[in-house]
Structure 1
Amino acid sequence: MCDKLDMSEVKRLDRSKLKKTITEGKNTLPLKETIQQEKDDIKRS
């Protein structure tokens, strides 16, 4: 393997041909405490 990346393709990239994307809100992960609470609730059931 070579140590350097070939950046020639990136330099030739035509940004006008890229499609526009709309990003939606992030789906955040639950807190550690919330996960632990749910695990405890399952054990009690």
Structure 2
Amino acid sequence: MSDKPDISEVESFDKSKLKKTETKEKNPLPSKETIEQEKAAATS
């Protein structure tokens, strides 16, 4: 058995068969302003 994986299927894969999807961030990071407001509220 070879150490290298068999990529023959990957080389012959047709990308045009894939469907286009919209990605949406489920858990976006808070903005810098939000972080600063929370820090100020926690210290006061």
Query: TM-score scaled to structure 2, two decimals?
Result: 0.51
Which 4+ stretches in 1 moved above 4 angstroms?
none
Q: Specify every segment of 5 or more residues in structure 2 that has no aligned partner in the other structure, as ranges.
A: 30-44
Q: Which residue of 2 aligns with 1:22?
A: 22
Amino acid at match of 2:11: K
User: Counterparts of 2:2 and 2:27 in 1: how far apart (Å)?
Assistant: 37
Query: TM-score scaled to structure 1, two decimals?
Result: 0.50
User: Counterparts of 1:28 and 1:3 in 2: how far apart (Å)?
Assistant: 39
Task: For residue 28 of structure 1, report the CA deviation from its aligned partner.
Answer: 5.0
Could you say what the CA RMSD is over the residues aligned between the two structures, in angstroms? 2.2
Q: Specify every segment of 5 or more residues in structure 1 that has no aligned partner in the other structure, as ranges.
A: 30-45
User: Counterparts of 2:3 and 2:18 in 1: how far apart (Å)?
Assistant: 29
Equivalences, count: 29
> 1:34-45, aligned counterparts within 5 Å?
none
